[in-house]
Structure 1
Amino acid sequence: MSEAKTPVVANHWRALRRFTDARIGLGRAGVSLPTPELLAFQLAHARARDAVHLPLDVAGLMANLTPAIEKHLSSPPIVLESCAGDRFTYLQRPDLGRQLSDESRARLPSASLDEPVDLAIVIVDGLSSVGVQNTAPSMVGGLLNALEQDNHDWTLAPLTVVEQGRVAIGDEIGARLNARMVVVLIGERPGLSSPDSLGIYLTFGPKGGLTDERRNCISNVRPGGLSAEEACRRLLYLMREARRLKFTGVGLKDRTDDTVIEGGRANKNFLTRRPDTGPGFPL
Structure 2
Amino acid sequence: MQEQAITDDEISLLDIYDFLVEGWKTILAIALIGTSIGTVTSLVLPEQFEAKALIEGARLTSSYVEANAVVAEKMRSPTYYDSETLAVCMGEGKDKNLELLAKALNANVARNSNYVAVSYRADSTEDAVRCLKQVLQIVIENQQQLVSAGLTSVVSNLENLKKKADELRKTIKQLESDRGAQFEFKNIEYSAAALITVTLQSKVQELLATENQISAAESMLKPPNTQDAKFATPIFASEQRVSPRRSLIVMISAIGSLFLGVLILMLRKFVASIKKQREERQNAAEINV
TM range (shorter): under 0.3
Larger helix share, 1 or 2:
2
- TM-score under structure 2 normalisation? 0.24
- TM-score under structure 1 normalisation? 0.24
Q: With CA pairs under 8 Å and 6+ residues apart, which has the higher RCO, 1 or 2? A: 2
